[in-house]
Amino acid sequence: MSCDHPDLLPLDEALQRLWNALPAPDLPGLRAERDDPATDRASMDGVALKASEGRASRRVLGTLYAGSDPAVFAVAPGTAVRIMTGAALPPGADAIVPVEALATDGDTVRPQVDPKVGDHVRRQGEQARAGDQLLPAGTPLSAARLALFAQEGQLLPLRPRLRVGVASTGNELVPHPASHQIRDSNGPMLAALAHTLGADVDLRSALPDEPAALAAALQNPGDIRILLTSGGVSMGDHDHLPGVLKDLGATILFHKIRLKPGKPMLAALLGDLLLLGLPGNPVSAYVNGLLFLSLALARLEGRAAPDPWRRARLAAAVRNKGDRPLLHPCRLVEGRLEPLPGKGSADLVTLARADALAWIDAGGLEAGTKTRWMPVV
């Protein structure tokens, strides 16, 4: 018997909806402040000379290092200047002959190759001209792009880490469980996940299955930008979160997605607070926490949307009788996905032993099929 519904929101649409609902920070464009390079530069260690003099001997006038003012030398006929990578070319020189292609005798050098104009020279402006647009406005930030901003004189500060609250829900969660109770494992799991994804983490005590307790936690979230909860989003009598959010006037971005495990996944905005209401089963909480939190952090920090998916072939068939795509725990062995005999969304033991969660389309996939997978981090 299937409890699935064809109208559930596909995962990729849910991710897109979350991305669109969150505000990106202001992402300024960047123009070149000056030519890049700002003057002709050596791209190897060697001597700077005039190419038209060919293999003739030259007297070495001195040495230019990266950052040296080249105007202290003038390369006249019969002369050359030793030069290090990154140094500006001295007046009169138009080529570099590398150290390895020189015969040296005291302060005299003789090229063993025929120099050509521009050899081993990075020409002024070859990468960009002053005023060129280097990055259009709205370009997501990255370490490489921050370097380009710095090169042009705009030192952007490191963005402070976003603060993420983590709170499991459930009356069954106690520190010293009887056989009908359990410890809170989702809280530490989601805290570690958020920490690994670069957030500051505020791990809170588990909340009871009481509307008033949930409402209080949502109305006074403290100094966090995102709240991860687990549990309370399904259809049981104790699944109070959707109703509480409705009462508080939250904007529900989506509730229920086309994914196994993880169907009850909920995302909502409550003022500036993003609530990711993860399902309570640990594998569901893990999968949805990784997918939705990594996307939300990237968006709010102005980075490009992360692509968690890689591709590999299945070493064995995986059945999927439902009509939702399944994420199935696998081990990676020699680049292939070996399915583990998992026991579903409550099976934390198998998740902890897995390297990968493999995407299994509704209906199942045969051995040897190439499919997408995400790493278990």
Residues 205-224 that bind a second copy (CB under 8 A): 209
* Residue 352 interacts with a second copy (CB under 8 A): yes or no: yes
Minimal distance in Å, beta carbon 145 to a second copy?
5
Q: Does 54 contact a second copy by CB under 8 A?
A: no
Q: How far lies 129's CA from each of 38, 86, 93, 125, in Å?
A: 9, 18, 22, 5
Residues 110-129 contacting a second copy, CB under 8 A? 113, 122, 126-128
Degrees, nearest 5: CA angle 317-322-324? 95
Contact 280, 186 (CB under 8 A): yes
DSSP states of 179-210: TT-B---HHHHHHHHHHHTT-EEEE-PPBPS-
27 binds a second copy (CB under 8 A): no
**Segment 353-372, which members bind a second copy (CB under 8 A)?**
353-354
Nearer to a second copy, 230 or 253 (CB): 230
Please tell me whether residue 147 binds a second copy under the rule CB under 8 A: yes
Is 24 a binder of a second copy (CB under 8 A)?
A: no
Task: Find where tokens 């690994």 sit.
Answer: 196
Q: Does 12 bind a second copy (CB under 8 A)?
A: no
Give the count of beta carbons closer than 10 Å to the beta carbon of residue 60. 17
Q: Segment contacting a second copy (CB under 8 A): 37-45, 216-224, 244-252, 314-322?
A: 37-45
31, 116, 129, 310: residue in contact with a second copy (rule CB under 8 A): 310
Closest-CA residue to 140 (of 15, 298, 22, 13):
298
269 contact partners, CB below 8 Å, separation of at least 6 = 21, 250, 251, 253, 275
HSE toward the beta carbon, residue 1, CA cutoff 13 A? 1
CA distance 205 to 219: 16
Residue 192 CB, nearest approach to a second copy (Å): 4
Strands 336-339 and 326-333, bridge-based pairing? antiparallel
Site track for a second copy across 245-284, x = CB under 8 A = -----------------------------------xxx--
* Identified binder of a second copy from the candidate list 57, 63, 219, 251, rule CB under 8 A: 63
- Which residue of 8, 49, 93, 134 would you call a contact of a second copy, by CB under 8 A? 134
Task: Pick from 201, 217, 295, 330 the residue near a second copy by CB under 8 A.
Answer: 201
User: Pick from 29, 236, 271, 368: which binds a second copy (CB under 8 A)?
Assistant: 236
Using CB under 8 A, count the residues that bind a second copy: 104
